[in-house]
Structure 1
């Protein structure tokens, strides 16, 4: 009888410890470089402003006729689900077409999707060369607008960034695994 109580206690203790030590599975650990760009309110937003926050990032542009439409709809839906879960998560969308996407254009675009702009920054105010280099070096993705085309090329991932400005995970932005994203955000939020 004492042996069974001891085994049960050991098992219970092990389960409690394993629940406390959750961490992101296979983190990317890509440190972001400092940046400061202009959001849809004509405010300067940079990495320093996002320190201490868990945030999601993606690359889109307003004249996109293909992947941006489902990506924006998916991110808006995800934003709503995060609110329902009581999770305070910022969203940062970098435009891949900064020459066209002014703050005003970005604001109107996001409003058409019903985005809550109190926690969503749509960024512009840089050159096409700057965002392409920034995307490759920091998010390992492209954000390139060929000069002779009206469509930009960009990745379709959603990126999870921790409170220290480190990219922890990337997810398919066309079919986001919402439960996994929420679970990973909860893990990061618990580490605060």
Structure 2
């Protein structure tokens, strides 16, 4: 990985870093989360996109489920497949409880990630994963809503390109409230612990 790409990736994380500093100053003590608690510091989940079956969906369609929101793309060479594999293992550790969890994989590459492509990709990792796509404006608006960011790299001679993107995983409770923030480097047991808390105590905690 070339240094300029690393630098661009670091710059993408700056808006999110500011949000984390704010969250760290004022933590919600209602539940003993192990991950970064963002309760009250990020807006409720809201979007109008298309799922991997080609059906228009909104955040309301997933109410009652604990949601893991992640921005990525199917041609991603490293962090996306690693993250989805890790999330699958975390859900496996939850056992039957994981039936009430959904992974929302929002494509930052809608030009290539059609619903059919997304369906095959996310289902290869976990049946509880949903691929989401839409027009570029809707995806950009959702990304900005959660202080995430992405940028398309210049295409190579064969027309292929990569998309540098933030790698945060946003966890929402059953009422669509943002509760904790995870990353691909987060200890997996910490994520399992916090998902169990949200599944056991619900959104009212």
What is the TM-score with the length of structure 2 in the denominator? 0.71
Cα-to-partner distance string for 1:97-130 (whole Å, 9 max, x where unaligned) = 01110011111212333x21xx321101221x43
TM-aligned CA deviation for residue 53 of structure 1: 1.8
Distance of 1:180 and 1:112 partners within structure 2: 24
| C-alpha distance 131-143 of structure 1, shift in aligned 2 (>3 A) | farther
Aligned CA-pair RMSD:
2.1
User: Which of 61, 65, 70 is the matching residue for 1:58?
Assistant: 70
Between the aligned partners of 2:33 and 2:124, the Cα distance in structure 1 is 33
Q: Provide the aligned length of Structure 1 versus Structure 2.
A: 164
Query: Is 1:152 equivalent to 2:163 in the alignment?
Result: yes
Aligned counterpart for 1:133 among listed residues 132, 138, 141:
141
Instruction: Give TM-score scaled by structure 1 length.
Output: 0.75
Residue 27 of structure 1: aligned partner? 37
Looking at structure 2, the residues matched to 151 and 71 of structure 1 have their Cα atoms a distance apart, in angstroms, of 17
Compare CA radii of gyration and give the structure with the larger one: 1
Match of 2:132 in 1: 123
Q: Name the structure 2 match of 1:3.
A: none
Residue 89 in 1 paired to residue 98 in 2? no
C-alpha deviation, 1:33, in angstroms: 5.1
Q: Which blocks of at least 5 consecutive residues in structure 1 are unaligned? A: 1-20
Deviation at 1:23, TM superposition (A): 4.3
Match status 1:67 vs 2:79 = yes
